[in-house]
Structure 1
């Protein structure tokens, strides 16, 4: 068969067309696989690992509860400790055991291992005997450094050559001359947070001497063909790498048929074009739906703003109109008194008693009018607080000790508070100096204390306590402000930082205190802010304040 130039051209174009179909099919396969992986594996696994980190961070609260338990009593016997520890073990299945050691941190390093005073283990961990715990403590806890650190974690360790891995969480209680050591089954904690259909295979690595070794694994089958997701797990001072492999049936394997069919059937290109048009059409529909959603959201926000503005206007009108109405009535009454006085004077009926009566009534009415005008002026002035963020733009940040600022604030509050029913408790961890705005921090603390006094303790006459805890994490300082007041209704908890939101509109409150706190922390301190309900009642607000000199 003789190939003409035209035939060769057609063959060449056909071969080129087939190659383009293969390349196009392969690229389409790759893109679809990546999209499905992100949607069905990477995103959920990241959420699972983040949830695992949150669960690990909750162990700090369990250690803190142990400290508070001993703070609450002058003497704790073994029965009380076992009952309290069993409650913690019941709510934290990954905690294997809790031990209290007699050890005076303030006496310096000791050559002998401290004695275990109390020891409670969870069901299924009976092998964690006192003798076993002394061996673990001797091996993994440096008794010379426990007094110089906040809550910290030991390295991972195994017990009796089991597959499970544990860590010991240590907290010093110098006021009680004790240590609390809590053993956590990290393997079990990982399974509780991560082990599921999507993330059923995972391996945890730890790095020692610049070498990465397997700490523990939970691999049920081979997943060599699938790329794993790599994340980090942090527990206090320890950090481990976690590698999660997807199940073999999680991704659609039939995508590989796209380049195969493209090679066998060049007409598949027509399907790809159709598919591309369909995707484009779906993308247009999605964009249109997105625009409709944004429009609906905008309308919803506008409606909410109008509703909020209506409530605000009604509240402000009520707060301002009341003193203004009283002032107008008072002035009108004074005007009537002056008119009557003039008529008596013109008729020659003005005597000493009538004049004295006029003076007395006039003074009372004018005092009432002046007091209400001042009240209205104060309300109007309070609305200007919404611009408080821009008031100190010329002030430069300073290097300060946040713990010292909190101590000074507490002392100043005790000396200048109008009521002595509120007490402030302070808990200071490791101190650290950062560059920030000390005046702004004082404003935030003052606003939080004022909010607690006005709202939290309004109907409470005793046992009113404000707790402030300062903790340092690298270049960040965590400041947790909590009160044991009435708390906030669940339906209002998400609105407490909204401008002009208040639950005491008729009491002269403009609803700007916590809104100003939110804006100061976010815009001025460049920090993070969270809040929630205290377990025993009350409200807590945590501020994560960054070092403004830190450029990372």
Structure 2
């Protein structure tokens, strides 16, 4: 025993050592990885994101500079506008075009539309932005009433001619000149010009809104689904777009992962040394445990087959119920035909005493047959319902009871209320013990066993009919042994007595559910163990081990 205890303690300490080594190595790996990520990715990416937003803020200065052009001159012609705007387009490659629309904010209504721009200059890189195209883009993406409330307004992302490029319209109203200044920004190109480098080389921008899966554009060059991304945001005037940036491949040191692996392998070596030290003793224990597991698996397999057989055996009771129901339906149908014929004779005035008496005689016979068979069906169904003991409405809570007292009360009640007085009880109570269980279920088990003995064991005996009940306790369990001195069960049939619908007396109207109900009550409700065998000289014994259901195993 000391050797086993020592082995268990050393095994526990070895496993604990292995877990601590692996966990410690993992913690070191995670700490080093987080430090490297913060230094080589999170910090730089945050700075790049802030730099990008600062570049977008400069778009306000660009709009302001064009506004200043019109403030400085009372009559800006197209040549002057193109010259000034061309310099802006030359130095800011993300601007697709700049234009000016005639617009009087004082006359703006719900249906106000813009004409084509008075002046428009598109970058050579964006020839698709003609005057007509930018007018359509303004109509589709700019709410003029909302834009008139802001000094600088940005539209949501949009595309042109179903291309993958995403653009933003920036507007500023110049009320003193009755003009509206518009500028188209290629946000994808602006992002690439501002933040695209070795570290920030894989980014995704989503459209404005709650749905983060609505992709606007992506610049991911490899599958980064397993990498932890940096979550940033793009700010432009009144708009905010979520941006996710993934680290590039091979950015982090891959050798850190070897730390928990080495720690784990070291712990395995320690476990192996412990295993080798107790190997011979373990081989002997394993052989014994394997034999016990085999017996346990066999008993559980038999139990599973018995309980699982219920579904397939429902057809047996259905067949027995179908016969009386069929007779009842036929009888009722015949009575219905008799009543129809009676009504027809009555309507034709041909109903006489003889026909009426024939109707009464036949109807009484048919209804009696129907009632008798429906009663048979009802009894069969009532017996069948007893099998479902797992979800029974009663006995939902355990009680602290003395099983010996339950047995004594049952015997007293049975002797007072039994139809037959030929059965005598021999009760022997050993050491008493109180356990938490279901007293009504125990009473039902005793009643089923006594009924089985009366119907089968003592069917052909009128004298010396004795049922003996022995009650003893050990630990937190109670052993109850029930035996009779009746006709007994043939050896070949002993293994089948708990099978549902198995009976040797079906001709007398027995459905074979009594001991099956006992089996399910003991196994499913009382969580107990059940054994049985033949009594020498004739008879059957069944023993129950009833556990304390509130005892912690």
TM bucket (normalised to shorter chain) is: 0.3 to 0.5
Provide TM-score, normalisation by structure 1: 0.46
Larger Cα-atom Rg:
2
Provide TM-score, normalisation by structure 2: 0.46
